Amino acid sequence: MFSKNLVLNRADILRENAEAVFAACDAAHGRWAKLLGVRAILHPRLKLQEFLAIYNITQEFITATEKVYIFILI
């Protein structure tokens, strides 16, 4: 009986941790989008290299958080 409760508790902890990581990634996406939105007025004035740097960083961020999502789902 003790081990069954322990397994259930461990499963609950893993689920809660996964939900917390998912929520953190979701919040980070929201903050990044807000930051890009605030800077949107500046983007047309950036040099191509500067704009590409922001674009590449954004893509890397999205890829990294998608990997976290996939890891959580497995």
Model pLDDT for residues 44-56, shown as the tens digit of each residue: 999 999 999 999 9
Radius of gyration of the chain (CA): 19
What is the band of 34 on the pLDDT scale with cuts at 50, 70, 90? Answer: very high
State mean pLDDT over 23-36: 92
For residue 5, pLDDT beyond 80: no
Helix, strand, coil percent content, the chain, rounded in steps of 5: 90, 0, 10
Per the prediction, the chain carries an average pLDDT of 86
Interatomic CA distance for residues 58 and 50, integer angstroms = 13
Locus of tokens 């929201």: 30
- What is the share, in percent, of the chain residues with pLDDT greater than 70? 86
